[in-house]
Amino acid sequence: MASFDLHLHTNWSYDAFAGVEDYFRLAQEKKTRAIAITDHHLMDGYDEVLECAAKYPEVGYLSGSEISVSCEFGPIDLVCLNLPRRPTGELAKLFDLYRNWQIASGTEASKNFCRLGYDFDDNARLELLKSYRTAAAVAKQGNSHVRNETLVQHCIDSGFCKDADGYRAIRKQFVNMPPYPSYEVMVPAVKAAGGLIFIAHPFNYFLQNDRKRMDALREMFQLDGIECAHPSVPEEMTPVYRAYCEEHGLLSSGGSDLHSAISDEFAGHCAPDFWLDEILERVTVYHGA
């Protein structure tokens, strides 16, 4: 277990179940040096983060979000840290763009299901969202897209398909699904807000350690760092990515990418303490509200 965890999802992410306070409680119990709530695409849960921070003032936390973008290499996930806890200006506009993308993605999914003869319109999608998302999240983010595992099970239970393979066969027939917003829109907004950009769980994005791909992504996203330690990164690749960071003056980060507050998996990565020290030279760590 590491002494920090800079990649955590709460129930403000469309696909996560942990409460914000769950992570603050775990951090206090385990004497974790710092955590970062990095919900997908948005920072809608930060009012709750500030409330929890006031209750757990000894827990250090960094502010941020995991924002996915489209680019010539396909969709890429980027952990953005040091974002203002109350976004304004271009960053607020960026989050509005992603909020609208989530709704558009859900709407097009329902249209495709109905086009293919399956009864899953906007109202059905909303009811499914309400079955696992908090009322506050639905009120803030609207009738958005649905967690994949939940949607697969709904399709099986509704008789649309027999199993996950059948669901994938349905999805292959979808058309007009909106891509993530472009990195060309996201990167300038994050940088202008003082944010630092780390490529998340890079093993597949880097084609393991394809230097041409690594260089291209580093330049494309103006990377400040790499999530060198993550459950999906093979142990032998962590020092390879760390060496690349040292070569190019990048920060190295680590995160569990938890979507549920599982105690044994919290801070479940191999990043050493001094990586956090390096990050905190450039990123604000908060205590309390």
Q: How confident is the model at residue 169 (pLDDT cuts 50, 70, 90)?
A: very high
pTM of the model: 0.96
Confidence of residue 1 (pLDDT cuts 50, 70, 90): confident
Mean pLDDT on 237-253 = 98
Distances (CA, A) of 229 to 189, 240, 273, 286: 26, 11, 12, 23
Please give the angle made by the CA atoms of 177, 180 and 182, to the nearest 5 degrees. Answer: 130
Q: Which residues contact 96 (CB under 8 A, 6 or more apart)?
A: none
**Separation between Cα atoms, residue 46 and residue 52, nearest integer Å:** 10
Q: Is the pLDDT of residue 101 over 90?
A: yes
Q: Is the pLDDT of residue 204 over 90?
A: yes
Residue 199, helix vs strand vs coil: strand
Residue 205 clears pLDDT 90, i.e. is over it: yes
Report residue 69 as tokens.
């973008």
Q: Kindly state the average pLDDT of the residues 189-193.
A: 98
Cα separations in angstroms, 78 against 60, 220, 221, 234, 240: 22, 12, 9, 19, 19
> Among candidates 118, 108, 107, which has minimal Cα distance to 166?
118
Token pair for residue 145? 């897209």
Side chain identity at 162, as an amino acid letter? K
Q: How far apart are CA 273 and CA 276, in angstroms?
A: 6
Mean per-residue pLDDT of the chain? 97
